[in-house]
Amino acid sequence: MKIIAAGAVLLNGACRSESKPPAKPAAVGWVPIALFSGHGDEQTESFNIESGQWRIKWKTTNEMPPGAGTLRVEVHSAVSGRPLATAVEHRGTGHGTAYVNEDPRLFHLVVDSSNIDWSLAIEAAVPNYSTPGP
């Protein structure tokens, strides 16, 4: 009985058709939308995101006095003014990327900051992005 079962397994493997390699996921590119920088609290100008997916590349520097710097960035609808999400909460110097998934619309950011310089680069996702070739 064991010989028959082993033979069936071998035949089953031999009869399989070659499977296609998995499809590559669509490439996503990032397009610059806006740059903001400052020291202290600020509400940014409005910016439009059409794709629904975007990111904030943030950086903090020049913390004075050391150990006292804070950065908080909230995403707001520029249409209604209501807060949608807290994208960044950070103490001290550093950098990072916060991803935002919201319905396409106008947005603005509310920055609460103390004792530190900050910069924010807003980039929108572009699906099926390909770099132009020669």
Mean pLDDT of 64-79: 96
- Provide the pLDDT for residue 4: 43
Mean pLDDT of 120-124: 97
CA-nearest of 40, 31, 36, 28 to 71 is 40
- Provide the pLDDT for residue 21: 60
Write out pLDDT tens, residues 45-62: 999 999 889 999 999 999
The answer to whether position 72 is within a domain reads yes
Number of folded domains that form the chain: 1
What integer best gives the mean pLDDT of the chain? 85
Q: What percent of the chain has pLDDT over 90?
A: 72
The answer to whether position 23 is within a domain reads no
How many CA atoms are closer than 13 Å to the CA of 68, on its beta-carbon side? 8
CA-nearest of 101, 106, 126 to 31 is 126
The answer to whether position 91 is within a domain reads yes
Domain that holds residue 76: 28-127
The answer to whether position 68 is within a domain reads yes
Report the alpha-carbon distance of residue 36 to residue 48 in Å, rounded: 14
Mean pLDDT of 10-17: 46
pLDDT at 94 over 90: yes
Q: What's the full length of the chain, in residues?
A: 134
CA-nearest of 66, 86, 84, 67 to 76 is 84
The answer to whether position 100 is within a domain reads yes
CB 23 within 8 A of CB 125: no
Looking at residue 53, which CATH number applies to its domain?
2.60.120.1540
- Provide the pLDDT for residue 18: 53
